Amino acid sequence: MAGRWKNDLNWSDTTPKAAWLNRRQIMAGMGAAAFGGIAGPALAGLGAVKSEYSTVEEPNPLDHITSYCNYYEFGTGKEDPARNAHMLNTDGWQVEIDGLVDKPGTWTMDDILKGTTLEERIYRFRCVEAWSMVIPWVGFELADLLARVGVQSGAKYVAFETALRPDEMPGVRSPVIDWPYVEGLRLDEAMNPLTILATGLYDEPMPNQNGAPIRLVVPWKYGFKSIKSIVRISLTDKEPPTSWNKTNGREYGFYSNVNPTVDHPRWSQASERVIGGGILAKRKPTLMFNGYGQEVAGLYEGMDLAKFY
């Protein structure tokens, strides 16, 4: 999949990207039918259908999303993933699903995608480092996959793990993180319809630097919860360890909901720098739950979000 993105001919080779993206944005404003007409067979993309969960905000262009990344397995610089992630071989990718499920087992990407309708989810994306983008992901609800494996009644959390391949991931030679990268969600967070497993963006397969072939996207949480290149999903009854919490528990909690009223110990979270806005652009105020409060605030009723940060 990732090889296709990098090496084979796709729309970006045949259509000047800027022209296409511009046209696409105009059509997006005209409604689903017009959009479908343009984005369908003519462009031979993934054919993702539109979703009511998408924001109407304008997405960042593809080159922002693919060139300014956090993927420490390929280096800690923002441009390292774009430079190095081609080394990751995603052929024959498998995801182990285990723990408190009725049908534990190994899933190929074909198994996972069979019978799934891919949706385009245009989400706001807010990094804990106080920058943000708008990203047109392609994916499906994690809840759908969990339904297929059958979650057992004792399960309370979902744990995720990224591939660990020292030969393909130059960044894992340095111990910035206790590899592999791991993340977790409470089961009700995982089942929320906003929580997706993304396999593409801009209607094309996921670029390696953004987490090919399959990554999590949880739009109301800081970006580091959205773990990339997943190889294991485990249902558990205990809160699973998470990489940034293990690295620095004082600064990064398990929940990590976007919250403009709880500052990071070293910087304010009240506002964000919009990537692509230019150095003169005004910072944008950060929204509680990254603007997704209507969908998710109920998950945290009665919880002190300054304590459970």
Q: Which helix H or strand E contains 149, and what residues bound it?
A: helix 142-149
181 makes contact with ligand MTE (CB under 6 A): yes
Residue 127 binding ligand MTE, by CB under 6 A = yes
Q: How far apart are alpha carbons 210 and 169 in whole angstroms?
A: 14
Measured N-to-C along each axis, helices 32-39 and 17-28 cross at an angle, to the nearest 10 degrees, of: 160
> What letter would DSSP give residue 197?
E
Report the alpha-carbon distance of residue 182 to residue 162 in Å, rounded: 6
Specify whether the CB–CB gap between 71 and 206 falls below 8 A. Answer: no
From 225-233, 259-267, 286-294, 301-309, span contacting ligand MTE (CB under 6 A) = 225-233
Q: Using the rule CB under 6 A, which residue among 35, 71, 107, 157 binds ligand MTE?
A: 71
Which range of residues in 19-27, 41-49, 102-110, 220-228 is near ligand MTE by CB under 6 A?
220-228
Which is nearest to 10 in space by CA: 201, 213, 205? 205
Q: Considering the rule CB under 6 A, would residue 210 count as an interface residue with ligand MTE?
A: yes
Closest contact distance (angstroms) between CB of 44 and ligand MTE is: 23
Shortest Cβ 223–ligand MTE spacing (Å): 3
Written as six digits, the tokens of 49 are 């259908």
| Residue number, 100 or 127, with CB nearest to ligand MTE | 127
User: Please, what is the minimum distance in Å from the beta carbon of residue 135 to ligand MTE?
Assistant: 7
Q: CB 238 → ligand MTE: shortest distance, Å?
A: 21
| Start-to-end CA span in the chain (Å) | 36
Residue ranges in contact with ligand MTE by CB under 6 A: 69-73, 127, 162, 181, 210-211, 223-224, 226-228
